[in-house]
């Protein structure tokens, strides 16, 4: 079919003019998140940083922790936290530079708050979130006691836990930029 | 719905022993039986009919009507031995804690099939209902927000190909004696997929990050509530809230319905089953960034927050437990990657590092993705040691095994990106060696 040349040119110009125009109004940035109340956030927020911010009310003693440990932890972590079949929780202090390092809560972990955080969120493996805050404090106290970090009469709570200085507190080199 | 046929027939051996042929010997009885039945039908009087009517080339399957359609395709039954290598350090005590390593020795190209993607899980795979699952974004933000999965699905998405490697990958090659197992059982805690999802930056902007927010805690909805702290720069850079893997919704073991994806960084930081993101001033020092995933040095200090995965490569074919059936031509094929960006070069040695040749690269234009390298090789039937050495665009070079080992305490098990060596004996058997 014959098409006059200037018509083709005009059509092409019209097309390119069209392409230069926005095809619709500018799109608003999507915002589909729903507001959430502080009370609801509190039910979700289980992470405990070294400052202890967010530690719940409650407390536990070494003695109480010994009973919790025997009932809920010992089957996997062994008597007195010596391990087997799961990880050892006690011992190994001063072993890290020996060529035969033994990494446990006592010898390796830099912050005691992590022990509360992890025990509450993940332990016991088969039944996480089943321990009360008092039980978590108590078993935290017992594991710290097994490592000789706190005394037999110590009580662990939101105030005392962040004050515990772990033996390997200064053992880490933060290489993040 | 469960798809059982992949697991119903346990392969005789998961090891790709024998020659280099990708086709595995399999019981052919099914075919013979079908052929005999067809021949019986043909025994009618006079005229040659049925299966024997045409004395032409053609296997029995060309003479029977093929199988019908299936709703979700599976690999050929001859490929059933291609399976992940499962590692369960706690045995039946915690069967979902450990890893399933990708059978890299049986794969080609750069994309790992979703069903063969490596898995590293700390407390099993949760069974999450996407209608009930939510993602909370809170902490140092102006507007704490809750996202349903339907809401996330409405955002503009991006699609990228990225590798994921567990920082404990290749730790099995740190034991005193080299294990004679397939390459995937050693170095397969690694995979590469196409990921589609929402840039995390978009959600952080919606919530309004406060200036003092320097870190972001990411937490999963698995029963360990696996959690890691991430510098806010990474969260605002290329972090993805991933919803799709290789075109389909994430597999359960890859974080269904939503996971974080931090390209190039240690795999466990790409938190699966993502339930919560909290903007914080400092790192939370969770269990998996203190007790684990920290790298002990000879002097007893440990490196913490070693996020980036180092430049690395491994020859997948030929590799450990395979056999070269005869002297002659082979293509050396392998994978390379770097958490720092693009792979620029892979050199291959067949003489234990005395001399090196540049391999041809495929996919090197993509940062933080697997690259396939290939090099033709004439095996003369004599002992040889095969190695590969990758270099990335930042100039990082994959270190020799001894150089890497000297940096760390003897039992450090993370970030082993040292050069991998396979020996070929005169009889053609390929072994894992420390060279």
DSSP state of B336: E
- Domain residues for B354? 312-433
Residues B278 and B237 occupy one common structural domain: yes
pLDDT given for residue A25 in this prediction = 74
What does the pLDDT read at residue A171? 98
Let me know whether B154 and B273 are in one domain.
yes
C-alpha distance from A47 to closest chain B C-alpha (Å): 7
Low-confidence residues of chain A: pLDDT under 70: 1-24, 177
A50-163 maps to which CATH number?
1.10.760.10
CATH of the domain at B390: 2.60.40.650
Domain identity same for B275 and B340:
no
**pLDDT tens digits, residue range A1-36?**
344 444 444 444 444 444 455 566 778 889 999 999
Q: What is the pLDDT of residue B47?
A: 75
Give the mutation candidate from A125, A128, A168, A170 for the B interface (greatest B CB count, under 10 A). A125
3-class DSSP state of B22 = coil
Per-residue exposure over B243-266, b if at least 16 CB sit within 10 Å of its own CB, e if not: bbbbeebbbebbbbbbbbbbbbbb
For residue range B411-435, list pLDDT tens digits in order.
Answer: 899 999 999 999 999 999 999 999 9
Shortest distance between the Cα of A19 and any Cα of chain B, in A, equals 23
Residue B50 inside a domain? The answer is no
DSSP assigned state of B189: S
- Using an 8 Å CB-CB cutoff, list chain B residues near A110: 285, 290
Among the listed residues B187, B192, B191, B184, the one whose alpha carbon sits nearest the alpha carbon of residue B85: B184
Please give the Cα distance from A26 to A129 (Å, whole number).
47
Per the domain annotation, does B330 fall within a domain? yes
One domain, residues B338 and B381: yes
Q: How many domains does the structure of chain B reveal?
A: 2
ipTM comes to: 0.87
Domain co-membership, B272 together with B333? no
- Whether B55 is in a domain gets the answer no
CATH number for B165: 3.90.420.10
Residue B200 and residue B248 in one domain = yes
Distance in angstroms (rounded) separating the CA atoms of residues B276 and B229: 12
What are the phi and psi torsion angles at A11 (to 5°)?
-65, -40
Which residues lie across from B346 on neighbouring strands?
A: B390
Task: Please tell me whether residues B201 and B291 are part of one structural domain.
Answer: yes
Q: Which of A47, A76, A101 sits opposite B284 (nearest CB)?
A: A47
- Could you state, in order of their start, the residue ranges of all structural domains in chain A? 50-163
Nearest CA in chain A to B147: A33
With 0-12 / 13-18 / 19 or more C-beta atoms within 10 angstroms meaning exposed / middle / buried, residue B87 is: middle
- Kind of pairing between the strands at B215-220 and B274-280: antiparallel
Q: Report CB contact under 8 Å: A114, B286.
A: yes
Q: What is the pTM of this model?
A: 0.88
**Domain shared by B235 and B376, yes or no:** no
Q: What is the pLDDT of residue A131?
A: 98
Task: Kindly state whether residues B257 and B281 are assigned to the same domain.
Answer: yes
What was the pLDDT predicted at A23? 62
Q: Which of B350, B296, B367, B368 is nearest to B359 (CA)?
A: B350
Q: Which of B233, B264, B298 is the last residue of a domain?
A: B298
Min distance B230 CA to chain A CA atoms (Å): 10
Residues B289, B398, single domain; the answer is: no
Q: Are residues B290 and B149 in the same domain?
A: yes
What local confidence, expressed as pLDDT, does residue B214 receive?
98
- Tell which of B298, B325, B348 closes a domain: B298
pLDDT of residue B50: 67
**Low-confidence residues of chain B: pLDDT under 70:** 1-46, 50-52
């Amino acid at each position: 079919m014959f098409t006059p040349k200037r018509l083709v040119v005009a059509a092409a110009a019209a097309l390119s003019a069209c392409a230069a125009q926005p095809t619709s109004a500018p799109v608003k940035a999507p915002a589909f998140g729903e507001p959430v109340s502080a009370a609801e956030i509190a039910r979700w927020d289980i992470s405990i940083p070294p400052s202890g911010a967010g530690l719940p009310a409650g407390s536990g003693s070494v003695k109480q922790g010994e009973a919790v440990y025997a009932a809920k932890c010992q089957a996997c972590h062994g008597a007195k936290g010596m391990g087997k079949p799961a990880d050892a929780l006690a011992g190994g202090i001063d072993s890290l530079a020996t060529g035969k390092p033994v990494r446990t809560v006592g010898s390796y972990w830099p912050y005691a708050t992590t022990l509360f955080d992890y025990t509450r969120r993940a332990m016991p493996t088969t039944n996480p979130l089943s321990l009360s805050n008092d039980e978590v404090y108590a078993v935290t106290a017992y594991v710290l006691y097994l490592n000789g970090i706190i005394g037999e009469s110590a009580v662990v709570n939101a105030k005392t836990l962040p004050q515990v200085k772990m033996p390997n507190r200064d053992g880490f080199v933060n290489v993040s930029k | 719905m469960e798809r059982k046929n992949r697991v119903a027939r346990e392969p005789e051996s998961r090891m790709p022993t024998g020659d280099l042929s990708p086709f595995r010997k399999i019981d052919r009885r099914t075919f013979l039986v079908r052929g005999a039945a067809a021949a019986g039908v043909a025994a009618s009087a006079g005229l040659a009919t049925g299966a024997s009517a045409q004395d032409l080339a053609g296997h029995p399957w060309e003479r029977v009507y093929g199988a019908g359609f299936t709703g979700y395709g599976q690999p050929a039954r001859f490929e059933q031995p291609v399976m992940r290598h499962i590692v369960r350090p706690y045995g039946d005590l915690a069967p979902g804690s450990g890893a399933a390593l990708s059978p890299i020795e049986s794969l080609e190209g750069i994309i790992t099939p979703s069903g063969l993607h490596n898995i590293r899980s700390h407390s099993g795979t949760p069974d999450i209902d996407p209608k009930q699952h939510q993602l909370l974004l809170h902490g140092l933000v102006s507007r704490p927000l809750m996202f349903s999965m339907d809401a996330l699905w409405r955002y503009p998405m991006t699609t990228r190909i990225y590798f994921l490697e567990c920082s404990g990958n290749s730790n099995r090659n740190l034991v005193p004696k080299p294990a004679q197992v397939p390459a995937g059982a050693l170095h397969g805690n690694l995979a590469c997929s196409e990921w589609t999802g929402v840039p995390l930056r978009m959600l952080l902007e919606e919530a309004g990050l406060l200036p003092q927010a320097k870190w972001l805690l990411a937490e999963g909805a698995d029963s360990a509530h696996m959690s890691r702290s991430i510098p806010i720069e990474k969260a605002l850079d290329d972090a993805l809230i991933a919803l799709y893997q290789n075109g389909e919704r994430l597999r359960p073991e890859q974080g269904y319905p939503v996971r974080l994806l931090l390209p190039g960084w240690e795999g466990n930081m790409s938190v699966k089953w993502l339930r919560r993101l909290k903007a914080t001033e400092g790192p939370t020092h969770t269990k998996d960034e203190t007790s684990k995933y920290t790298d002990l040095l000879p002097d007893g200090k440990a490196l913490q927050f070693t996020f980036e995965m180092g430049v690395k490569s491994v020859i997948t074919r030929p590799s450990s437990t395979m056999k070269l059936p005869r002297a002659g031509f082979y293509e050396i094929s392998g994978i390379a990657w770097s958490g720092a960006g693009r792979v620029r070069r892979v050199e291959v040695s067949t003489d234990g590092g005395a001399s090196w040749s540049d391999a041809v690269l495929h996919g090197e234009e993509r940062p933080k993705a697997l690259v396939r390298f290939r090099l033709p090789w004439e095996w003369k039937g004599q002992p040889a040691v095969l190695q590969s050495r990758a270099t990335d665009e930042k100039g990082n070079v994959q270190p020799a095994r001894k150089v890497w080992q000297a940096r760390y305490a003897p039992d450090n098990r993370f970030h082993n990106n040292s050069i991998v060596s396979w020996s070929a004996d005169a009889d053609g058997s390929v072994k894992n060696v420390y060279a």
